[in-house]
Structure formats: structure tokens, C-alpha cells
Amino acid sequence: MELLQLRPEGIYCPLGDFYIDPWQPVPYALITHAHADHARPGHRLYVAHKKTAPILRLRLGENILVQEVEYGERLLHNGVEVSFHPAGHVIGSAQIRVAYRGQVWVVSGDFKIEHDGISSPFEPLRCHTFVTESTFGLPVFGWKPQHEIFQAINRWWHQNRVEGLISVLFGYSLGKAQRILCGVDSSIGQIYVHGAVANINQVLEGIGFSLPSWKHVQTNMKRKDLEGSLVLAPLSAVNTPWLNRFQPCSIAMASGWMQLRGNKRRQALDCGFVLSDHADWKGLLSAVSATGAERVLVTHGYAYAFSRYLQEKGIEAQAIETHFEGESPTSE
Ligand SMILES: [Zn+2]
Ligand SMILES: [Zn+2]
């Protein structure tokens, strides 16, 4: 029997009787991280890293049942050993390792290789079968070092400030927003955040995270209150009245999708910064090779193209159908 298999509810371990990031309600769910496509409502028990747990409660309700685990801690389910290991994707994100009688599987969840300074750095794990994401699994996706991207963001913000414009930067409220907050030069001006980002920031500060100074955009604020400042907002605020009251402003997005020029135009952005919390093409390949896996199962993103490439390299690879969504250019 396979250690993990695909069920209508999600990725399932029949021996241990648990699911990993299931998309339908189940009794026992191991959760890689708190993004909505991985952490869905309705499970009886959530098992997650201790930094993910408070974000799950924020997003899914205070009354959910969460068992908190530390990286590397071993849990036993009917003799199946389970442990969580850093995925470097967002704060608290984990790869989940499942082992039984010498057989090891690793489910990557979402991951990135470059250390972002706020998430625990990605930990390469050896395994027999690796279930990997492939959000950016095409050779066209190659990231520059993040300090170059932050220099470009600083230049954009500074120039807007000189011109009396508000700089509005869109990115995921969990992960991307905090990475930008910590990465930009906060001496340029004040940083404001949308309510969705403020909620996450507060939860993280509540568990001891220290973030550079930020302020919440209040509903009664006028354009002139924000002039020259940087505003961090979730993708859901694109083209909303919330945004339009700040016009004229300079609008930008931080996402791996900004590598494709058409996306910037389609979203009517003034600027696009290629900054992703997912591995790029080379990162995916290096992660696969570091596992030493005999078999690779490829999920969300360019699963068919990426698995075909691995097959050509002599690795047994296969695309599998999941309900994970990767990094969407428009929704969170
Ligand atoms: Zn994610
Ligand atoms: Zn995902």
C-alpha cells in the first residue's frame, strides 16, 4: 500500500489515518501553512506549526481545535512517524515528512529556497517520494536576489514620495506583506497597511515577532494623510473603492507573476516587482535533487510541464490533481 494516496478529500495516509492540507472537511488534518488553499475550514482537528496556529485561529475562528508542533518534533500515528520541517515559504510554513518502516515521503507544501529573513529557512530532506509544488515550474521563472528587488522598491517609493504620490504595493497579506515591511528602507517614510495585513501583523507581534513600525490605514483617512507613504495591501484590494480614494497614486505588485509582462498590463499596474515566496525553476530543481527521491509527484502550478521535464532527466515523475492554487495574481 502507498504511504500517501489521493482521496476526494485530499492527500491521505491510510496507515496513519490523517490528511495533509485537505480541501474537504476531515477529522484529522496536518496543515503545512495558513494560506487559504492549504488551510480550509471545517476540520475536526488541525495539526500545525506553533507559529501557524495563531494565524489559523485568526482566519478560521478562535474555536477551531489546533494541536501545535515544533519543527522536527516527532508525532506517531498508528506507527507512522510524522514531523514538520521548515519550508521557507511564509512564517510557520512546513514541509511534512511521513515515515513508516524505512519508507519516507515528504509533502513540500509551498516552499522557497532563498532565506527571506522572517521565515525559518527551507530545510532539504531526504526521501523516497517527494510531493512538490510547481507554481513557477517553467524555465522562464528565475528570481533575482531579494536585495536587488528591495532596492528597486525603495527607488520607486522614494521617487513617488518626491512627486507627492502615495505608493501602493500589493502582495499577500500573510508572508509577502511582512517580508516587504522588513525588507524596505523604512527611513524613506511612513509605512501604512490595509486591515487584512494589520490583522496578521498583530497576531505575529502577539507571538513575539518584531516588525518595523507600521500604521493601520483608518477609514476616515484622506489622501493627504498618506501622501509620500508606502501602503501595503492584499491582492483583494485591487480595483476597489478602498484603493480608489487614494488616487492619484502609484500602484505596484510584488509577485512572481510580474516576470510575465502581460500580467502588469492586465492589472493596470505602474510597476511590477518580481518577488515570490515560491521557488523559481532552479529552486524547484535543486529541491528535487536534494531529496534524492526516486519518485516525484507534482502538484499545483505547471505540474505537467515540470513532471515531463523531470521524466526527461530520468526521474520517475507524475502530475497529480489537487485543489491547491499556487500564487494567484489576483486572489488570496
Ligand atoms: Zn502558500
Ligand atoms: Zn499553495
| 110 Cα–ligand 1 center, Å | 5
Q: What residue has cell string 474555536?
A: 63
| 160 Cα–ligand 1 center, Å | 30
Would you tell me how many other CB atoms lie within 10 Å of the CB of residue 40?
20
| 216 Cα–ligand 2 center, Å | 27
* CB burial of residue 244 (10 Å; 0-12, 13-18, 19+): exposed
**Could you check whether 5-140+278-319 and 146-273 share the same CATH topology?**
no
pLDDT of residue 328: 63
| 313 Cα–ligand 2 center, Å | 25
| 111 Cα–ligand 1 center, Å | 8
CATH dotted code for 146-273 = 3.40.50
Name the pLDDT band for 247 (thresholds 50, 70, 90).
Answer: confident
CATH fold group of domain 5-140+278-319: Metallo-beta-lactamase; Chain A (3.60.15)
pLDDT of residue 153: 98
List the chain domain ranges. 5-140+278-319, 146-273
pLDDT of residue 331: 44
Closest-lying ligand to the alpha carbon of 34? 1
Candidates 47, 38, 49; CA nearest to 17 is 47
| 323 Cα–ligand 2 center, Å | 9
Closest-lying ligand to the alpha carbon of 21? 2
260-289 burial by CB neighbour count: b if 16+ within 10 A, else e?
A: beebbeebebebbbbbbbbbbbebbbebbe
Mean pLDDT over the full length of the chain: 95
Check: CB of residue 314 under 8 Å from CB of residue 289: no
290 has a pLDDT exceeding 70: yes
| 31 Cα–ligand 1 center, Å | 11
Q: What is the H or E stretch that residue 198 is in? A: helix 195-206
